[in-house]
Amino acid sequence: MSRFKTISLRVALVCATTLSAFAGTAGAQDFSGKTVEWTIPFGVGGGTDVWARFFAPQFAEALPGNPNVVVLNVPGGGSITGANQFATRAGSDGLEILGTSASTQFPAILGDPRVRYDYADWTAVLASPTGGVVYVSPEYGATSPADIEALRGTEIRFAAQSATGLEMPVLLAFEMLGLNIRPVFGMESRGAGRLAFERGEAGIDFQTTPAYLSSVVPLVEAGKAVPLFSLGVVNADGSVSRDPSFPDLPTFVEFFEEATGAAPEGQAYEAWQSLMLAGFSLQKMMVVPGDAPSEIIAAYGAAAQSIVDAPDFRARAGEELGAYVQLVGPEADAALTEALQIDPSVKDFLITWLKEEFNVSL
């Protein structure tokens, strides 16, 4: 049995043993007259911000008592600043919640010394898988894998948050393709990276599904951006299939195979697969301090369940979130616990690669 099938089995067992308690305590809460502060450790306009602003008004309606749910953007450090602040300041009454992303998870997995938070201290109540698309400026004349040499022949700037953040599997993909990418780190969000692209300060960019659908598709339609490939969906057996949100785009693996004439392999590809599973299969999460009352945590899970069970959720989510299955309540938390476990050999490879390529010491 593969590791990822084992994960699915464990998640199912955890959910089976906690579901009755989850359902029984959720209805006892009343958030009337209260305000829930939802910290998003990124700037406005990125994928996580778009995701949170899609869900926030729905949680305001679904939580008992209909509290105000306010999104608070705290960018910096590729999400580490806001996550550290939340870990230090959030109370245990459940009125402060956090939205995380792969940029929050990857540094924690790799032991980044800037991290002052521990996912073990939080309980996930909603987890949203996502995908993403890499696109370039039309100035390079590249529209398909056949144009790979046009991309390899010049230095291309890429506005990124950090080497250990959300863009890590994208940077690995660029390296495997042999592209001459010059990353410019320090963006407060992927939205800031997109704006740098729009201003002509970067020639290649990547956005997760929510931001791509809302902000990049208009650029493509206006002839200002050319999509190259989606990251695709990494399956339990390690294979990669087309992203349901972008069925007409080749995956990174398809693009690589056509551009190079061979399938990707080796440690870099194994690391890419692991990062995709850890950071994109459960890419965006709503977490609550683990010491919040169990009935409060259950109320968030029940609210999330009612949101995703709404008859029109799939139609609305198609525009904002893409066609991905949402995990809620105990299922989300159990999946998070498993996904954050990374093979030691992959971790060692990534630590060495980050040091050699970007002078990042962990």
Strand ordering across the sheet containing 181-184: 181-184, 156-159, 204-208, 132-136, 226-230
93: domain CATH number is: 3.40.190.150
State the chain's mean pLDDT as an integer. Answer: 89
Do 306 and 339 sit in the same domain of this protein? Answer: yes
**How many domains does the structure of the chain reveal?**
2
Do 274 and 136 sit in the same domain of this protein? Answer: yes
In this predicted structure, what is the pLDDT of residue 7?
43
Residue 351 maps to a domain: no
Domain boundary among 225, 249, 278: 278
Confidence grade of residue 27 (pLDDT, cut at 50, 70, 90): low
In this predicted structure, what is the pLDDT of residue 265?
94
Q: Is the pLDDT of residue 34 over 90?
A: yes
Q: Is the pLDDT of residue 16 over 50?
A: no
Domain boundary among 278, 309, 333: 278
In this predicted structure, what is the pLDDT of residue 12?
40
Q: Is the pLDDT of residue 6 over 50?
A: no
Do 270 and 307 sit in the same domain of this protein? Answer: no
Do 226 and 284 sit in the same domain of this protein? Answer: no
Confidence grade of residue 19 (pLDDT, cut at 50, 70, 90): very low
Q: Is the pLDDT of residue 13 over 50?
A: no
Do 140 and 95 sit in the same domain of this protein? Answer: no
Overall average pLDDT of the 140-145 stretch: 95
Do 241 and 149 sit in the same domain of this protein? Answer: yes
Do 293 and 217 sit in the same domain of this protein? Answer: no
Residue 353 maps to a domain: no
In this predicted structure, what is the pLDDT of residue 28?
61
In this predicted structure, what is the pLDDT of residue 205?
98
Domain boundary among 260, 278, 296: 278
Read off the pLDDT of residues 104-125 as tens digits, 9 standing for 90 and up: 999 998 988 999 999 999 999 9
In this predicted structure, what is the pLDDT of residue 316?
87
In this predicted structure, what is the pLDDT of residue 204?
98
196: domain CATH number is: 3.40.190.10
Residue 318 maps to a domain: yes
- Backbone dihedral region for residue 135 (phi beyond 0: left; psi -120 to 50: alpha; all else: beta): beta
Residue 358 maps to a domain: no
Secondary structure (H, E, C), the chain: CCHHHHHHHHHHHHHHHHHHHHHHHHCCCCCCCCEEEEEECCCCCCHHHHHHHHHHHHHHHHCCCCCEEEEEECCCHHHHHHHHHHHHHCCCCCCEEEEECHHHHHHHHHCCCCCCCCHHHEEEEEEECCCEEEEECHHHCCCCHHHHHHHHCCCEEEECCCCCCCCHHHHHHHHHHCCCEEEECCCCCHHHHHHHHHCCCCCEEEEEHHHHHHHHHHHHHCCCCEEEEECCEECCCCCEECCCCCCCCCEHHHHHHHHHCCCCCCHHHHHHHHHHHHHCCCCEEEEEECCCCHHHHHHHHHHHHHHHCCCCHHHHHHHHCCCCCCEEHHHHHHHHHHHCCCCHHHHHHHHHHHHHHHCCCC
Phi, psi of 19 (to 5 degrees): -65, -40
Residue 108 maps to a domain: yes
Lowest-confidence range among 17-26, 32-41, 287-296?
17-26
Do 137 and 29 sit in the same domain of this protein? Answer: no
Percent of the chain at pLDDT > 90 equals 69
Residue 352 maps to a domain: no
Residue 359 maps to a domain: no
Do 138 and 263 sit in the same domain of this protein? Answer: yes
Do 113 and 32 sit in the same domain of this protein? Answer: yes
Lowest-confidence range among 19-33, 155-169, 192-206, 344-358?
19-33
Residue predicted with more confidence, 202 or 213:
202
Do 240 and 184 sit in the same domain of this protein? Answer: yes
Residue 357 maps to a domain: no
pTM beyond 0.75, yes or no: yes
Q: What's the domain range around 136?
A: 132-278
Do 291 and 262 sit in the same domain of this protein? Answer: no
